[in-house]
Amino acid sequence: MIGADLGVFAQLGGLFLAAFGAATVLPFQSEIVFVGLQLGGTASLTWLVIVASIGNTLGAVVNYGLGYWIEHYRDRRWFPFNAGQMARAEGWYSKWGVWTLLLSWAPLGDAFTVIAGVMRTPPWLFLILVTIAKTGRYIVLAWLTAQTTA
């Protein structure tokens, strides 16, 4: 019994790492790991969604931190945007851009999480929107997997 529990723990740990990596700029695919574990049936679907969502959300937090950090260098010559461009972008983002975080699950969603850091999105709002997006993605993925195997 302990060996089985350890195996499930290892699987969930692998899923966490894959989900974390997939949310950063690293080229990971957590969906493949998630579906494989769902089809394997050794871990409960609830735990798969929870672990993948937490890992993916924390990976997005790393991106947010990178964006927050790099913004300190906006006065450097190598920074890709000038002050006027940043001011226009900040105006647009404050009105509409924060909602792009609901697309943080999508292939280009990692860029939205970095931009959120650059634009100083309040951390509480960032976490709420990204958690909704990331968790929603894994719930839909679990449902689609269950539908195709039923």
pLDDT in tens, 18-34: 999 999 877 788 999 99
Signed CA dihedral, 127, 133, 134, 138: sign only? positive
Task: Give the ranges where the chain is alpha helix by DSSP (H).
Answer: 2-23, 30-40, 45-70, 83-95, 109-118, 123-149
* Segments of the chain with pLDDT less than 50: 1
3-state secondary structure at position 106: coil
- The structure tokens 């409960």 sit at 44
The pTM of this model reads: 0.86
pLDDT in tens, 1-18: 455 588 888 999 999 999
Strands (E), the chain: none
3-state secondary structure at position 26: coil
Structure tokens at 34: 């998630």
Overall number of domains in the chain: 1
What range defines the domain where residue 136 resides?
1-148
| Mean pLDDT over the full length of the chain | 89
